[in-house]
Amino acid sequence: MIGYGEGSGNRVRAIFIQKPEDADRLILDDRCLQNLAVYLPKHEVRALGKPAIVARVPVLRSIQQLVYEQQLKEGDIAVIGVSDDGQVLDFPDLKSVGDFVSKIPLTLTPDEQAALKKLEAMSREERWNFWLEEMSNCIKCYACRASCPMCYCERCTVDCNQPQWISVPAHALGSLEWHIMRAMHLAGRCVNCGDCTRACPVKIPLALLNQRIIADIVDNFGEKAEYALAAFKPDDTEDFIR
Amino acid sequence: MADKKIIRKSSLGELFKKIRSDGKRILAPVDRGGKILFEYVDSPGSIAPDYIQTTLSAKDTLLPRCEEMLRFRTEQKSVYLEESLNRPEPTLIFGVRPCDARSIAVLNAVYLINYTDDIYRQKIDTTTIVGVSCAKCDEYCFCTSVGGSPGDTAGSDMLLTQMDNDIYLAEILTDKGKAIAALAPELFAEGGDVDKNKHCADVPVRFDVKDLSKRLPGVFEDPVWIAQSLRCIGCGTCSYVCPACTCFDIQDETDGNRGVRLRCWDSCGFAQFTLHTSGHNPREVQSQRWRQRIMHKFSYQPDQLDVIGCVGCGRCSRTCPVDMNILQHITDILEVH
Amino acid sequence: MEEKSLYQPYLMRIAANIDETPDVKTFRLEFVKEDEGKSFSFKAGQFGEYSVFGEGESTFCIASSPTRSGYIECTFRKMGRVTKSLASREVGDIIGFRGPYGNIFPLDDWKGKSLLFVTGGIALPPLRCVIWNALDLRNNFKDITVVYGARTVRDLVYKHELEEWGKRGDVKLITTVDPGGETVEWKGEVGFVPTVLEKASPSSADTVALLCGPPIMIKLTLPILTKLGFSQDKIFTTLENRMKCGIGKCGRCNVGKYFVCKDGPVFTFAQVSQLPPEY
């Protein structure tokens, strides 16, 4: 069972319960924000056997997305859902997880919208300088990538060097390239859990990039846009996607 | 013996001016929206007033996250090595915590022993460290368990300890420290014969580091590493915020026919770190990589270089996105039988 | 220019470019600056960092013998970014070389002894350096035996030299290819290295064994060598962890308290058996 337990200080942390008598260590409160879906593809976690996972809405969305992307299939995991108002949700299968979260539109909170508005109110130069300054703090620790359930690639683009798509060093250009590439790769996939921002040791507001893309998707395709790659059918008349 | 003087907090502005006129740039901790970063300052007014620890350590100056090793130009079949632009400027880092100052011994051991790394040597030779003792600590601090203390002088050229009133005790420790004091001798007054310890934080000793070093090889195969690292997500945050982590990667970058070879921070926490081109990976899973981090700092480095690769600053624990708490883990490892 | 920086490579001109197999090449490299070549020396077992400027550095042994001065040779397989780029270089092109790094095969200690080389595939280059070194000082050693195998005839490296060694009366050369890897003309053995070694059953009396090859070959060959009477401290190998700096700084090749680059790459199996299994 992957859930939350008390951590150090006033922090909470992911815990992996393997014996029924340890289940008392499980907790759930406002501090329990980490997107636990990040652990589902991990070798050592899988080695412990089929997991059950405590899943609040962002985690449920991640599970739905991982199913879309064929990283999870029925029977791989058991889901103990928790609704936004704290009710325990019983999901007999992963399809029911998808059905449930599909009914909750992925929209931005008023605070998130306000932050985006503030950015959009900037001139192009101001915005560029804002990001350059934020990115100048980036140390390329890849905590954003490691904390993200959608960054499950065994080999990330930045690790591919033939050719070297993304500059590895943590200089201004390298960091900017990295974060733009990551945001684009998450377009339509990001569930806005906020873990990238929370994980960042130098507090770069990374989620802003993804939230902007989410806002664009909502504006252009509506709140319940189907996942594009999952919507692909072999008999699609367009052949650019093949 | 260190020369002990006192200096008024209000005199620091004058001292900073003298240091600047002497041609040194000054790096000091500045508050940037909740993160404390070393930035260039001209006056002490810009310094963050209250913090336990900087977000990143001063390592970023001595061993930058990315720095030039080599500069080259290619022309048809020929290659020309050009003069590197990585020439350190004389720098004074102000406000280095004693734990961070202590980490310089680790950097020195790695970079100056056996083959002398001239890029690093030039940096350390032109850098003066003015430490500031810790009046406060938090539950993540454990300097006293790894040989340091909140008022430890190791690694500092001058160590300031704030006394009750508006006065710092200034311990002038090295020639570089003397050179700073000599810039403005009138600012350094007699009266330094005081007990600084009562002005320093009380950091309890949490474990016996010699015992840990001795026991680590014996627990290499223990399942404790897997249990501890199940929640580790394999990012490099712990290494990058660590003042004593020194591993790096080398990357070439070109622009037309000119190029640079860069040294960039790297981390044993990354799966790619040890991956062979053939696909074989000597440390395939995260538990092995987590074990390497602890073994390297507390067993291999003491064995190889006679230094402990950890100064107890607690940054890795404070910053870890998934609450990997090194102190707690070490304590647990010591309980393995 | 001032003193050469630690990471500043020698500029080397490719003097010869030999295709060993479809994906393995040998370069002969000469120093662009003659004085650097004159003051350069190394010993058998050492390695270097070879670079293509703009692509990066790659680690491999010096495959030529220290008894042949004025040049060094390296043999590499086209695998990653640097080696693929290296492979596209031509005679006359300039590449970089940093080294020599690492420890050595203690040939001086082996005077008067017999040498047994057991190797497979692309692992011959580090031993080829020792083989030529020993052959150039032939009187210093008793019997020299080389057991070398590859998957197929095509995958054997240094084919001309194998032929030369085969003709010499002072080397016992046994070549083998995996079953199915032979050609109609193949005159060597067919079978895996450990089996062929067991059949040849060379004496371990006053003999040092040098064993280099893929992990599976090493795993299966060690028991045979033990059966033949070699103790682990008489069997030498070179380890090949991923490296960047080559001088014990970058941390990558750390295994236990050793850095493969600085404390190795040459180890006896007595030493290897004490290491954590992280190589």
pLDDT at A231: 67
Q: Do B264 and A170 touch (CB under 8 A)?
A: yes
Distance CA A160, CA A97 (A): 34
Question: Does B74 lie at the interface with C, CB-CB under 8 angstroms?
Answer: yes
The neighbour count for residue A74, using CB atoms within 10 Å, is 9
The neighbour count for residue A32, using CB atoms within 10 Å, is 18
Residue of A nearest to B261 (CA): A169
In this model, does residue C3 exceed pLDDT 80? no
In this model, does residue A189 exceed pLDDT 60? yes
Q: Do B247 and C279 touch (CB under 8 A)?
A: no
> Which CATH number is C1-103+241-271's, of 2.40.30.10, 3.30.2320.30, 1.25.40.80, 3.40.50.300?
2.40.30.10
Query: What is the residue extent of each domain of chain B?
Result: 3-334
Question: Does C262 lie at the interface with B, CB-CB under 8 angstroms?
Answer: yes
Please give the CATH number for the structural domain made up of C107-238.
3.40.50.80
Q: How far is A160 from chain C (nearest CA, A)?
A: 10
Q: How far is C261 from chain B (nearest CA, A)?
A: 12
Q: Do A8 and B270 touch (CB under 8 A)?
A: no
In this model, does residue C179 exceed pLDDT 90? yes
Query: What is the residue extent of each domain of chain C?
Result: 1-103+241-271, 107-238
Q: How far is A167 from chain B (nearest CA, A)?
A: 8
pLDDT tens digits, residue range B69-117?
999 999 988 899 998 899 999 999 999 999 999 999 999 999 999 899 9
Q: Write down the residue that tokens 């032929």 correspond to.
A: C163
Question: Does B54 lie at the interface with A, CB-CB under 8 angstroms?
Answer: no
Q: Which residues of A touch B229 (CB under 8 A)?
A: 44
Cis before residue C265, ω within 30 degrees of 0?
yes
Q: Which residues of B touch C250 (CB under 8 A)?
A: 247-250, 266
Distance CA B307, CA B109 (A): 7
The continuous run of DSSP H or E covering C152 comes out as none
pLDDT tens digits, residue range A216-230?
888 888 776 566 666
Helix segments in chain C, DSSP class H: 34-39, 81-87, 124-136, 159-167, 193-200, 215-227, 260-263, 269-272
Q: Do C6 and B117 touch (CB under 8 A)?
A: yes
Distance CA B161, CA A144 (A): 38
pLDDT at C182: 94
Q: How far is C97 from chain B (nearest CA, A)?
A: 13
pLDDT tens digits, residue range A85-132?
889 999 999 999 999 999 998 888 999 999 999 999 999 999 999 999
Question: Does B65 lie at the interface with A, CB-CB under 8 angstroms?
Answer: yes
Predicted ipTM of the assembly? 0.92
The tokens describing A16, both together, are 């992996």
Question: Does B70 lie at the interface with A, CB-CB under 8 angstroms?
Answer: no
pLDDT at C5: 86
Percent of all residues in chain C with a pLDDT value above 90, rounded to a whole number: 95
> In the beta sheet, which residues pair with residue C174?
C147
Q: Write down the residue that tokens 């605070």 correspond to.
A: A111
CA distances from A73 to A68, A210, C86 (A): 9, 26, 44
pLDDT at C1: 40
Q: What is the mean pLDDT of chain A?
A: 91
The neighbour count for residue A120, using CB atoms within 10 Å, is 10
Q: What is the pLDDT along chain B (337 residues), one digit of tens a residue?
A: 689 999 999 999 999 999 999 999 999 999 998 899 999 999 999 999 889 999 999 999 999 999 999 999 999 888 999 988 999 999 999 999 999 999 999 999 999 998 999 999 999 999 999 999 999 999 999 999 999 999 999 999 999 999 977 899 999 999 999 999 999 999 999 988 899 999 999 999 999 999 999 999 999 999 999 999 999 999 999 999 999 999 999 999 999 999 999 999 999 999 999 999 888 999 999 999 999 999 999 999 999 999 999 999 999 999 999 999 999 999 999 998 7
pLDDT at B301: 96
In this model, does residue C124 exceed pLDDT 70? yes
